[in-house]
Each structure stands twice: as C-alpha cells, then as structure tokens.
C-alpha cells in the first residue's frame, strides 16, 4: 500500500477516470485491474477510481472498497483519487474511511441528490466530510448527474474548508476567450492553493489552454494516449496543437454529445476487449447495436484501437 | 405476518406515505412504529412505506428491510405498499425480495437515476422486476426526484407488463377541465385494470374529482385526517366539498411549493412530537428556524395539531 501522501500536493495534469466494468452482475475485477494497469503504464498523472465513469453511484460499500483497493494495487506509483459520493452523509463518511484504508491519495466528492439539496445542505456535507477525513478533497461539480447547481459563492465557501484542494468544473464554453474569462473569474473567488480541473472532454483542450490546472477525463480512463497528447501540448503552451489534437477527435465528441460519455466509452472499452459486452450496471443497457458499430468505426478510423 | 394478497386488488383510495424519521443517524424505530400505527388507526386505505417521503433512497438494504417489517407489523389490517427503487436493478430486486418477505401487499418502483436513463432502460427495469416478483407493482413517476420524464407511450408499454397495477402520476393541472382531460387521455392508453393515482398533494382534490382512483399522499403520512376528508368527499362525488377542504389547506400547499413537501412534512412531524428534531437524513438539514416557526403557525392556525 502506498503512502497516502503521494498526491497531497495540488491535483494537476491529466486524471484518468476508468470504467468499473460489470460482468454477470458483479464487478469484473480482472478487467478492472487491467484497465488501471494500462493507465499507469501510459503515465497519466492521476487515476480517479469510482468517478461517475466508474459507476460509483451504483456499487455497494463492499464493492467500492474492493475497487479502491484494486485501483491502488494496480496503479503502481500513480496516485489514485477515489470517489466517495453517496446520497447520505453517513455513507459518504464510510466510503471515505474505506478509500483512506485502501491507500487513496485524495477523495472526490459530488453532492448526489434524490431530494433536491439547498446550498446550505451541500456546504454542510462538505463541512462534515472535510472535518472527518485526513486526505485532500476534490469538489466534484457534475450537474448532469447530481442536478445540483453550484454558484461561485458556494465554490468559494467550500474551497475555504480545510483539505479542499481542487474543483472539478463542468464543461467550459467552446469559445476560448469565454473559457478564459470563466477560469479567471473562478481564480478570483478561489484560494490560490485550490486547483481548477476541467471536465467535459470536448472542452478540455480549451480549458487547459485557458488556465485550468487539471483535466478530469472520461476518455483518458479508456484511451489515455490521445488525452495525454492533448494535455502535454496544452501544458507546454502549445494551445494550437492541443486544439488540433482535440479537433481530430471531433467524431468522438459528437458521439459523447449524442449519447453521453459513459455509454460511448463503455462501447469503446467493449470494442477493444477491455471489458465484456454490456459492461454497465443495469438498468443502463448501453448503446444499441447500430450505435456500437458507429463507435467501432470511429475508433478504427481515428486509429484509437492500436 | 399478513397475507401478501391483501391488496392484490387494484390500488384505490388514500395511500399515506409516512416519513422514516432519523435520530442519531439511525432509523427512529419507535417514532416510525407510532406514525404507522396512527395511520392505521385513522383508517387510510393503504400505507406506502419507503416512498420518497419515507427516504427510501437514503437507507441501506438492512434498514429498508427493517422499516418494511415494522410498517407491516404496525399497520394492522391496512395493506402496506413498499418502495423498492434503487439506482441498480440488482438492488431493486433485493429490495423487492425483502419487501415480499416482510409481508408487503404491493411494490412501488421509481426509476432512480444518476446517469440519465433512456426509455428503453426504464422499460427494461420494469420488465426485469415484474418478471422476478409476485406482488402487484406500482409505476412511480416522480420526475422531481428521478429526473426521468415518462411519456404516455412508455406508461402504456409498462402498464402492459404483468403485475403492473397502478401508476402514480405527478401533480395534475390546477384547472379541473385540464386535469380531467389529462386523466381521460391516460385512461385511453392504459389497460382498464390499471389504476391512476395522483400525487402532488395540492392537486389531489382536483385529481380525485377528475377521475383518479387513488391519491398517493405525502401529507396523509403525517396528517391523515384532513387527507381522508378530501378523499372521502371526492369519492362520494362531492367535488365542491373536496375542493373547499383542499383550499382550506392552501397555506400548507404554499409551504410545499416553496420548500418541497418533504421538508415541510418533516417540520410538521417534529412540531407534533411525532419525530425528533432534524429527522431527515443528512445532508438534508430540513427547514431553518424561521421556516419551522412558520410551519408551526400554519399547523396551529389550521387546527391540524389536535
């Protein structure tokens, strides 16, 4: 087990979000270990186990503890972030304790909702959790799945809590000036030590070039190389190259926009034999046959299957 | 344990949805048993344990099994419906088996989401569940919490599955002609044996008078008498009386509209000493002090605390 300090420094660069493939209604541990090992071998900066892409919301406490341990085991020297979100604060604290015991380097927390939460509820959640844990915490803003809308004011309040180290923001505007404005505005309300990580893979090149410190990436969890190429170009200040590398993946981003990144990424992993067919947790069936063929065609045409 | 057949007939009349009060981070079993006993004594037609009002989404499998058993034990002769929803189909099936073992009369199933579900996913969920259970199943359409939008076409497809017995629809239009139109349209697409139950307490009088067979009621889970009075008036064809009884509760419906029915109902239960303070599962803090005082004032002014 690695030291829990290995990513106590701010979270920067490319964080790859692996799928947690299901087979026969159980976590496919062999496939998961292989996927995580590939990410470490590709030298992504961090691996985020049990993100939305890793189906954290669908797994039991025992499954999540096991997945966290497998991720740390197969990530080698790469720091592992673990998603700890749950509908109930009690359960979030249990997941945090399990992640800490597994050797996680940091924790990712989204305010899951069933009943709508108020800003005060969400602040209370982060207050309760950051008071109870010893690892860095990433605020995970994913309105498409949580249906909770953060304000800049709430970002700022939570970012002042101890141990809050990074904010995973939703997709940025496609226009690079508008994206830079948004990142600038966030910088003004956030403490200097809190990193900003972009998600929404299609807007990552824009986001990194606009000053985001990290890319919390769905696609990198299954296809790390093209995501790394974009990240390294942007980090080196080669914004045009990063934009061109991202533009080359436009057919993929179109599929993401149409079907959501999870179903498309699962179809890619299944096409590449990284996961068994229908690897998402039911009731999510994943793409239909025609769309799976389209995904396979895009993967082959872009040379992503090599 | 009662026979599982006690509500195999279609679900009609008033179904009361009790809170599942939390105290010290655990289900307050004493308070829950008392709440359920009050509903049975008031002679509601059915009691729905573990609805959204019963915080089903926040409880563990063991807690839910225990709550279902307590509800059946304290409901006496009143049939108990049990909510079985979960994000993952495997877990829904576990909850269904537990509810059946507890002596439930019927099962209530909402398509919970984290990742958005397609119509095909949701149909598959109901297909998988109705194939596996022996009890009647109520389709629970609660877009405010599930963020899933049913179409009439999907209602109709699911209603043709075996064991689907009732549909819990969201609030109807306030205008009685528009409400009647909507119920008529639903009748045309649903099999004759499937009952329609209105939710959205403020629109229940309108809904029952517009031809709904049942009222799936939040307020009846804590204040059964005023809900029974509305139901019995509407069932006897006294639409004006039902409407007047509902209109009298307007200050309550305003609070529901402002804060959601769950937080207001929890504050009522706390005010009436049916639950300990802060009885909702964290991170849901419930109403602030000023709003709690307003709720208490409304309860007293309407004579609901007697």
Q: What's the pLDDT tens digit per position in A261-287?
A: 999 999 999 999 999 999 999 999 999
Given pLDDT bands bounded at 50, 70 and 90, which one contains residue A109?
A: very high
Residues of chain A in contact with residue B125, where contact means CB-CB under 8 angstroms, are: 282-283
Maximum distance among all alpha carbons in chain A? 49
The average pLDDT across A209-216 equals: 97
Residues of chain A in contact with residue B91, where contact means CB-CB under 8 angstroms, are: 60
Residues of chain A in contact with residue B64, where contact means CB-CB under 8 angstroms, are: none
**Which residue among B58, B60, B121 sits closest to A284, beta carbon to beta carbon?**
B121
Q: Which residue, A195, A199, A150, is CA-closest to A170? A: A199
A279 in reach of chain B (CB within 8 A): no
Judge: A281–B111 Cβ closer than 8 Å, yes or no: no
Q: Annotated binding residues of A, as ranges?
A: 53
Judge: B128–A260 Cβ closer than 8 Å, yes or no: no
* B233 min Cα distance to partner chain A (Å): 31
- Between CA A31 and CA B136 the distance in angstroms is 39
**Which residue among B90, B145, B288 sits closest to A114, beta carbon to beta carbon?**
B145
Residue B60, sorted as left (phi over 0), alpha (psi -120 to 50) or beta, turns out to be: beta
pLDDT for the residue numbered A4: 40
Mean of pLDDT over chain A: 95
Helix (H) or strand (E) holding A217: strand A214-217
Judge: B283–A125 Cβ closer than 8 Å, yes or no: yes
* Residue from B60, B92, B283 whose CB has the most chain A CBs within 10 Å, to mutate: B283
- Between CA A100 and CA A129 the distance in angstroms is 13
Q: CA A176, A180, A183: angle at the middle one, nearest 5?
A: 140
pLDDT tens per residue across span A72-95: 999 999 999 999 999 999 999 999
Q: What residues 130-149 of chain B have any CB closer than 8 A to a CB of chain A?
A: 144-145, 147
Q: Which fold has domain B13-238?
A: TIM Barrel (3.20.20)
User: Which residues, given as ranges, of chain B have pLDDT below 50?
Assistant: 1-8
pLDDT for the residue numbered B305: 82
* First and final C-alpha spacing in chain B: 32
Name the residue in chain B with its Cα closest to that of A113.
B145
- Using CA atoms of B227, B229, B231, B236 in order, give the dihedral in degrees to the nearest 10: 180
* B31 min Cα distance to partner chain A (Å): 20
Hey, where are the domains in chain A?
13-238
For residue A1, pLDDT over 90 is answered with: no
Would you tell me the crossing angle of helices A29-42 and A61-74 to the nearest 10 degrees? 40
Residues of chain A in contact with residue B87, where contact means CB-CB under 8 angstroms, are: 57-58, 281
* B130 min Cα distance to partner chain A (Å): 14
pLDDT for the residue numbered A305: 82
pLDDT for the residue numbered B306: 66
For residue A240, pLDDT over 60 is answered with: yes
ipTM: 0.96
B114 in reach of chain A (CB within 8 A): yes
**Which residue among B52, B124, B283 sits closest to A283, beta carbon to beta carbon?**
B124
Given pLDDT bands bounded at 50, 70 and 90, which one contains residue A11?
A: confident
Question: Which residue among B56, B140, B155, B216 is the active-site one?
Answer: B140
Judge: B281–A89 Cβ closer than 8 Å, yes or no: yes
Residues of chain B in contact with residue A111, where contact means CB-CB under 8 angstroms, are: 283
- Between CA B122 and CA A251 the distance in angstroms is 28
Alpha helices in chain A (DSSP H): 29-42, 61-74, 89-102, 119-132, 143-146, 152-159, 176-189, 204-209, 224-235, 239-248, 250-259, 261-271, 289-301
Torsion angles phi and psi, residue A27, rounded to 5: -65, 130
- Between CA B177 and CA B148 the distance in angstroms is 26
Judge: A260–B120 Cβ closer than 8 Å, yes or no: no
pLDDT for the residue numbered B97: 98
Question: Which residue among A32, A140, A155, A216 is the active-site one?
Answer: A140
């Amino acid at each position: 087990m690695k030291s829990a300090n290995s990513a106590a420094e701010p979270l920067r660069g490319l964080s790859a979000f692996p799928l947690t493939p299901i087979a026969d209604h159980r976590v496919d541990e062999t496939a998961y270990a292989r996927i995580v090992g590939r990410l470490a071998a590709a030298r992504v900066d961090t691996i985020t186990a049990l993100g939305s892409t890793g189906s954290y919301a669908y797994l039991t406490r025992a499954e999540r503890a096991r997945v966290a341990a497998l991720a740390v085991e197969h990530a080698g020297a790469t720091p592992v972030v673990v998603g700890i979100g749950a509908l109930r604060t009690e359960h979030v604290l249990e997941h945090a304790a399990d992640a800490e015991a597994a050797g996680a380097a940091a924790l990712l927390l989204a305010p899951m909702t069933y009943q709508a939460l108020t800003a005060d509820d969400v602040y209370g959640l982060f207050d309760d959790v950051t008071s109870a844990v010893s690892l860095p915490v990433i605020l995970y803003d994913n309105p498409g799945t949580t249906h909770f809308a953060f304000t800049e004011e709430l970002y700022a309040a939570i970012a002042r809590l101890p141990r809050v180290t990074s904010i995973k923001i939703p997709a940025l505007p496609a226009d690079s000036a508008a994206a830079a404005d948004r990142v600038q505005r966030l910088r003004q309300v956030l403490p200097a030590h809190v990193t900003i990580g972009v998600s929404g893979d299609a807007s990552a090149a824009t986001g990194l070039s606009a000053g985001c410190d990290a890319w919390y990436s769905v696609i990198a969890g299954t296809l790390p190389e093209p995501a790394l190429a974009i990240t390294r170009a942007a980090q080196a200040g080669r914004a045009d190259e990063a934009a061109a590398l991202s533009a080359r993946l436009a057919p993929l981003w179109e599929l993401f926009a149409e079907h959501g990144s999870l179903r498309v990424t699962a179809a890619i992993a299944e096409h590449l034999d990284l996961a068994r067919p229908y690897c998402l947790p039911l009731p999510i069936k994943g793409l239909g046959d025609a769309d799976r063929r389209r995904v396979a065609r895009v993967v082959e045409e872009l040379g992503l299957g090599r």
